[in-house]
Structure 1
Amino acid sequence: MKIRYPVRVRAFLVGMMVSLLPLTASAGPSDDTLVVAFSKALTTVDRLYSIQREGLILSRLTDDGLFFVDPDTLEFEPLAAASYTWATDTRLDITLRDNVRFHDGSRLSADDVVYTFRWVLNKDSDTSRGAVIRGWLDSVEKLGPLRVRFNLKMPYPMALRDMAISIPLRKSGTYDDPRGGDQPLNGIGPYRVKQFDVGRRIVLERFEDYYPDSPKAGARIRNMVFRVIPDEGTQQAELLSGGIDLMMDVPPDVADNVSALPGVERLEGNDIRIGYLTLDAAGYADPDSPMTHLKVRQAINHAINREAISRYLVRGSARAIPYACHPRQFGCQADGPRYPYDPEKARRLLAEAGYPEGFSLKLWAYREKIIAEAIVSDLKAVGLDVDLRYVKLNVFSKMRNDHRMGAFFASYGSGGTADASASTGVHFTANSNRNYSGDESLSKTVLAAERTIDPDERRRLYREALNRIAEQAYWVPLFSYSQNYLLTPALSLPVSEDGVPRLWQAAWRQ
């Protein structure tokens, strides 16, 4: 297969009139244009080459995969696929819908699906999720004009997830085109890309030939514009002046203040993201660390008032969580010990562990400093001398991956995946740089849950793993997050359960 890499930093324009559009598009129902603020710029509109949250939001408009995440149930359901069958634990047969069209008008066929997945399987294609897909997918073959077979290397319950979130379908030959990244994105989603100005804006228009039996059919708004506005204050001013219709990922304090102004409404919703502390139980950073003592880790769990943090600092729909996963995730059911806020018990456990006067501790963090400071305050209240090391993400990641942290506060969004494999699995497999437990038996249990497609067996294994994590207090599970949106009162937008907005559901209020 001839390889031509997508040019990720070059804009394309479709049609001469597009270039005449003003940079600040008119927002609102008067011209049926929804204008949304992006805080970060995308260097490509091709989801195969992007891992950014903004790219995920955009791709759910411009692209479809074989499956999608149902916004209400968070289950993986057929999208471009009409049906599927697990012939064996490692063989998945898919039949495509017969009325799916690319934005250039051509029909989707098995050839396109085979081309897309073979491209991803090719190491030289350098796709963003290629390594993950190659980890479980051995080959893909055409069975007929609309039938495809996937041959897996092993049983992998998250195959449908990866197909839904990571692999948008591409027309056969897409990356062999001599224009490379200059060509317009030719997706099969309910919107097509009309203009892409890197670092400035992306203009979409509704695709009128989108297949009507799609679960995503019926988009109400004709045009969408995504403006890159990194400064939060500028976003607020644009919303108040009518320059944009929607702000996303709004901090709670900003949402409180701005939503009180006329002409602004606030939406709150759930998010699969969770906050947590990891404790160096294995003693990677320091073999003599107090964190290697179970009672010390239990004391830290009891010392933190996670209920108050979630209620007063995270706010919205945030809730304290008892286990190392989000309660909405499949497999996140356990009956292991819980650690209610009890500073007296925390002091007692520290004394029993041999630290009646406490000890010195470095707590690392890279986000939400106010929450990190609240955690530090709680730990100091039980006698620990805590030094907050608040650093940039690149420094944090390097220190974490090198196993040089005694304790750290972080969060994880699971890629919006409502399955414990995306949280518990990511943090406690043997080869994960996030795993500070040193517990080989736990890692084997987590791996076993990722090597069977039997849902009952997966539940049993995750329960066993989550109970073990709680019993050994390897983590301090803290809270789930809440999503805040600010929008014009003219806009109606359903709030999804996983925190990823489905803008194809947006509509103007009558």
Structure 2
Amino acid sequence: MTYFKKSAFLAAGLMASVAFTAPAFAGKADDTLNVAMAEEILNLDYNYTTKREYIILAQLTDTTLFDLDPATQEFKPAVATGYEFLDDKTVDITLRDDVKFHDGSTLTAEDVAYTYNWIINPESESNASGTIGRWLDNAEVTGPNTVRFHLKSVYPLVLRDMAQRIMLRKAGTYDEGGVIDRDAMASDLIGTGPYKVVSFEPGQELVLERFEDYFGEKPAIEKIVVRSLPDMGTQQAELMSGGVDWMFKVPLELAENLGSTPMAEHLSGPDLRIGFLVLDAGGLTDPDGPLTKLKVRQAINHALNKGDMAEYLIGGSAEAIHTACHPAQFGCDQTVTDYPYDPEQAKALLAEAGYPDGFPLEIWAYRDKPAAEAIAADLEAIGIDVDLRYVKLASLNQARADQDIPAYFGTWGSGGTADTAAIARIHFSMDTDRNLSGDEALAETVLAAEQTVDQEKRKELYSEALGKIADEAYWAPLFTYSANYLVSPDLEFPLDPDGLPRLQNSSWK
């Protein structure tokens, strides 16, 4: 099926409703970056959250042991000054001695060890427990500025997890006096990042100001105000009037049209998020169902016009993909089997599989409704009778946990990590309900890739795993995503290749 862009009528409407001269942007005048987010911000502690909005905020209020250079994917010192692997399962981390918390106290080795040990404590119930708990046995203070990490097994992504997932807290933060308080940092956050919290109204507004005792490079902008504005129209109006300087997750058409006016600049950058269709090859919903047959899954892959979906429905820098990973990720082998768009071949494969007239198929989806509808339309075109269940994410997650989903349109952003490990295990291990393949050998290969520090060996193992996923058509990979922003003409906002917005690097023109 071919998809066409909607007519560009929005810009004309905007021009008719606002003056042609650009407004006076208050953000630059009072050195305050005004940020709009559609997501309600309810918890400032990234150790207890997961969404992209919270990652963005954590970069402002917190620091981690290491930084990951988004351009080179190399690790740089942050709170840690260095590391040494004593053996495959023991690593020593050396810390700076000048890192200050926002309350003025100095970060210590005890704080670092406490944070990591708390995260893996079953009583923590932290969102980060799954990431850290699979490899960390315990963290031990070995000196005034050194912490020793004892690993459960060989794990090549230790530094990545240290750089991206765990925000450092003062010892006793979550269980002071023996009383567990998982919300201790939800509102009154005491971090170590370049900005400190001035005020926070959950679901409404967060006010940050530059932390002058920050150990790293000071941000150029003094204050950041983050407002929760769920309605895109409200965000748009605020941007045009100068009340907002930065918007993200902007629909492509709106970004292009409003970006052509004097009120805003449209920026489009890369994003490590990919979209894909997961198929119940393992027969969890029907042991003898059509999706358990290879030719049916191959037919579905051939039926999807993912090139047009990427160009016309996602837009920007989005591209069609044929792998169960983002092409920019380490280990994402691009030589695996591809299934070009070919509806006639798809129909022939269905007939060979015993379904010349197609079959009914329930597909679940929770986001990007136009793309979900395009998937359904393409499959309808080869005779598959699609029942599209467009639901909230929580409903999809529950149905998947109950093994009640024959197919679903999913996306994954890998937390901004340019490594196939960030997408492979969570989707293809045997202990995740995201894995509908039922392939134990594949799960073993994915796990093996995650448990060797030999980079060439990791590439080989991921190539083997991705090759099998493609050959067996467990997924129908679709497209990469594009990050679209609207910003004030006064704002200099750098775009990083991993697609993660870093507001702390913004400045005024």
TM-score (ref. length: structure 1)? 0.90
Q: Given that residues 289 and 406 in structure 1 are in contact (C-alpha distance below 8 angstroms), is that contact kept between their aligned partners in structure 2? A: no
1:226 aligns with 2:230: no
Cα deviations across residues 363-403 of structure 1 (Å, max 9, x unaligned)?
22121111111111211222222222222222211222222
Separation in 1, partners of 2:299, 2:51: 37
Q: Which moved more, 1:174-183 or 1:389-398?
A: 174-183
Larger CA deviation: 252-261 vs 236-245: 252-261
Q: What SS does structure 1 have at the residue aligned with 2:435? A: coil
Match of 2:400 in 1: 400
Runs of 4+ in structure 1 off by over 4 angstroms are: 176-183
Going from structure 1 to structure 2, the CA distance change for 1:377 and 1:205 (only over 3 Å counts) comes to: same
Which residue number corresponds to residue 241 of structure 2?
241
Letter in structure 2 aligned against 1:377: A
Alignment of 1:352-371 (within 5 A): 352-371=352-371
Report matched runs for 1:39-438 at 5 Å.
39-176=38-175, 180=184, 184-211=188-215, 214=216, 217-438=217-438
How far off its partner does 1:43 sit? 2.2
Cα distance between partner residues in 2 of 1:127 and 1:196: 22
**Aligned-residue offset at 1:270:** 0.9
Q: Distance in 1 between matches of 2:451 and 2:291?
A: 31
Counterpart residue identity of residue 85, structure 2: W
Cα deviation 1:403-453 (Å, max 9, x = unaligned): 222221111111222111121221111111011111111111011111122
* Unmatched tracts of structure 1, length 5 or more: 1-25
Q: Deviations over 1:273-329 (max 9, x none)?
A: 110001111111112211111111111111111111101110001011111001111
Q: In 1, Cα distance between the equivalents of 2:76 and 2:349?
A: 48
Alignment of 1:467-486 (within 5 A): 467-486=467-486
CA distance in 1, matches of 2:269, 2:498: 8
The answer to whether the Cα contact below 8 Å between 1:74 and 1:498 also exists between their aligned partners in 2 is: no
CA distance in 2, matches of 1:399, 1:426: 17
> Aligned AA for 1:314?
I
CA distance in structure 2 between the aligned counterparts of 1:337 and 1:181, rounded to whole angstroms: 47
Q: Once the 2 structures are TM-superposed, how far is the Cα of residue 479 of structure 1 from its aligned partner?
A: 0.3
Indicate the SS of the match to 1:174. Answer: coil
What residue in structure 2 maps to residue 35 of structure 1? 34
- In the alignment, the residues of structure 2 paired with residue 58 and residue 267 of structure 1 have an alpha-carbon distance, to the nearest angstrom, of 20
Conserved in 2, the CA contact under 8 Å of 1:364 and 1:407? Answer: yes
Identity percentage of aligned residues? 53
Task: Give RMSD over aligned pairs.
Answer: 1.8
CA distance in 2, matches of 1:310, 1:82: 42
Structure-2 separation of matches of 1:269 and 1:30: 27
Distance in 1, Cα, partners of 2:38 & 2:58: 17
Contact 2:204 2:228 in 1 (8 A): yes
One-letter amino acid of the counterpart of residue 384, structure 1: I
Equivalent pair of 2:327/2:334 in contact (CA under 8 Å): no
1:334 touches 1:466 (CA, 8 Å); kept in 2? no
Q: Are 2:187 and 2:200, in contact at CA under 8 Å, matched by a contact in 1?
A: no
* Paired AA for residue 129 in structure 1: A
Distance change (3 Å), C-alpha of 1:466 and 1:176: closer
Letter paired with 1:203: V
Change (3 A) 1:183 1:421: closer
Q: Which amino acid aligns with 1:383?
A: G
Look up the equivalent residue of 1:435 and give its one-letter code: N
Q: Which moves more between the two structures, 461-470 or 339-348?
A: 339-348
- Separation in 2, partners of 1:51, 1:440: 28
For residue 494 of structure 1, what is the aligned residue in structure 2? Answer: 494
**Per-residue deviation, 1:145:** 1.0
Q: How many residues align?
A: 480
